[in-house]
Amino acid sequence: MSLDQLIQKCKKNDAQAQSDLYKLYMGKLFALSLKYSRNYAEAEDNLQDAFVTIFKKIAQYQNKGAFEGWLKRIVINTALQCYRKKGVLDIVNEEDIEDVIIEVENDVVDIDFLLNVIQELPDRYRLVFNLYVLDGYSHKEIGQMLEISIGTSKSNLARARMILKNKVESYMASLNSQSL
């Protein structure tokens, strides 16, 4: 069955098609959800809410643009909504920080560790870092999505990078000391 057919069936509220669609995208979308959440449980809740929205609104999907992109936007929006509701407003020091260069041994860095450090970031830093670095949104878009200024977005990103750099460096230092 082609993706189009699957989408058509989902629009008719076909339970089997919905299950198939879920299985097709749950891996990617859960990974996405994980990055935007504080922890595993929150990521699952977010994914659940996102899929409910997806199946309720799939009739509105007009086959314009990539379907996967549409799905991702819903997952991200669902995640952001959660923080908008909570009114996450970190106190932001709007200073410019230079680009952060890090020295890494590429192979040894574990993905679970990276995910963990992202999840440990303060909410706004995490969101901005994800949106800008991993999902390719511009500062302007981020500003609109999070209802913050472009400057704030940039500043948040810089802070996020600093925190991540420090954590990755100390992680590698501990790895090196173990291997020595």
Partner 1 sequence: MSDKKHIDRLFQEKFKGFESTPSPSVWENISKEIHPEKKRRKVIPIWWKIAGIAASLFLLFSLGSLFYNNDSNPVPVESIVSNPKSEQTNQEGLNQNNTNNFDDTNSDKTNNVNQELKQEGSSNPAEIFNPFVKNETGENSIVTTKKEHPSISKDNIQLLNEKTLAPKVGNAIVQTTLDFNSLKEKEKTSNKVEDNLDLKELNKIDSTKNSDIVIEDSKKQNAKDISQIETDQNGKSSLTDALATVNENEPKKEDDTEKNSKWSVSPNIAPVYFNTLGSGSSIHEQFNNNSKTGEVNMSYGVSASYTINKKISVRTGVHKVNLGYSTNNVVVYDNVQTTSSRNSLKNIDLNKNGQSLSFISAQGFNFAQVPSIISNLVSTSIDQELGFIEVPLELQYNISNNKLGISFIGGVSALILSDNNIYAVQEGRSTLLGEATNVNNTSYSANLGLGLDYKISKKVNLNLEPVFKYQLNTFNNTSGNFKPYFIGVYTGFSFKF
CB of 117 to partner 1, least distance (A): 9
Amino acid (1-letter code) at residue 23: K
Alpha carbon distance 152, 172 (integer Å): 30
Closest to partner 1 by CB, 7 or 133: 133
Closest to partner 1 by CB, 113 or 123: 113
Interface positions, 67-126, toward partner 1 (CB under 8 A): 99-107, 109, 111, 114-115, 118
Among 6, 9, 17, 51, binds partner 1 (CB under 8 A): 51
CB of 164 to partner 1, least distance (A): 6
Among 7, 24, 92, 133, binds partner 1 (CB under 8 A): 133
Sign of CA dihedral 121, 127, 128, 131: positive
Alpha carbon distance 160, 127 (integer Å): 9
Angle at 25 between CA 65 and CA 118, to 5 degrees: 95
Alpha carbon distance 16, 128 (integer Å): 36
| 3-class state of residue 149 by DSSP | coil
Interface positions, 5-34, toward partner 1 (CB under 8 A): 13, 15, 18-19, 22, 26-28, 30-31, 34
Decide: residue 31, CB within 10 A, 0-12 exposed, 13-18 middle, 19+ buried: middle
Where do contacts with partner 1 occur on this chain (CB under 8 A)? Answer: 13, 15, 18-19, 22, 26-28, 30-31, 34-35, 43-44, 47-48, 51-52, 55-56, 99-107, 109, 111, 114-115, 118, 129, 133-134, 161, 164-165, 168
